[in-house]
Amino acid sequence: MDAGHLIAIQVTLLYTILGPLVLLALYVLFDALAKLGELKGNRQDGAATTKDPALWTNEDINTHLSRM
């Protein structure tokens, strides 16, 4: 093998091994920043007291419809 093929193989292996590790590190960093923001009370969604409509039970639906 010549030098060009060896460099190509080494770069491919480097990206194959370090790529997922870098992505994991970014995920951990963003997760830690999100948790830090929640501890300080900086919620971005503004839905601290309301329930997600996708998670409503039958009682929640009946309560909502009876208010209309």
pLDDT in tens, 13-65: 999 999 999 999 999 999 998 888 777 766 555 545 678 888 999 998 898 88
Question: Taking the domains of the chain in order of start, what are their residue ranges?
Answer: 1-46
DSSP state of 46: -
What local confidence, expressed as pLDDT, does residue 35 receive? 87
- Contact (CB, 8 A) for 12 and 19: no
pTM, to two decimals: 0.48
